[in-house]
Structure 1
């Protein structure tokens, strides 16, 4: 994998979030099960593209950063994740992103 590939993937995540309608965001974030399902679909898609677990976690990390900075939690689980994200170091956030990928991957 080249150095450019992760940069392009991060850019794609930004574009996907920016292009998503508020209605779609509300649907995904309306409850935690819906959020996990959406993230699980993206992880499954990434695995089909043969993305590494590290790349999947970086994608989850990018999405989590966006959510922490731009979206209000809509339920207790999202609020807990946001609070953990805010107090975590970059290393802890990265580990939490890995854990989120593992959580949704094990449910598929």
Structure 2
């Protein structure tokens, strides 16, 4: 599991700024990107709990390193920032459910 965490962290650090801009320019792009990554994780056999843990890493990175580009991202960043670790974990689960329904 720790190896997967390192891969996620390295991938986040290597995100091409241009690609990053495209993903975050609107909320639908972000949801599509997250949906694709969740589907990939499910195909790899990752549980919902593990996917939520990885989603937490991504959300934490975005909250620290990226400026929101729309109202939805701004709201997510605010919720993430004020939330406890437990609330952030629940928000990660909610994000997963949101993109699974799409």
Alignment match, 2:72? 77
Normalization by structure 1: what TM-score?
0.93
Across the aligned residues of Structure 1 and Structure 2, the Cα RMSD in angstroms comes to 0.6
Where structure 2 has 5 or more consecutive residues not aligned to the other structure, the ranges are: none
Moved over 3 A (4+): none
Q: Unaligned 5+ residue runs, structure 1?
A: none
Residue 11 of structure 2 is matched in structure 1 by: 16
The number of residues matched between the two structures is 102
Distance in 2 between the 1:52 and 1:30 partners?
29
Q: Return the alpha-carbon distance in structure 1 between the equivalents of residues 4 and 100 of structure 2.
A: 19
**TM-score, normalized by length of structure 2?**
0.98
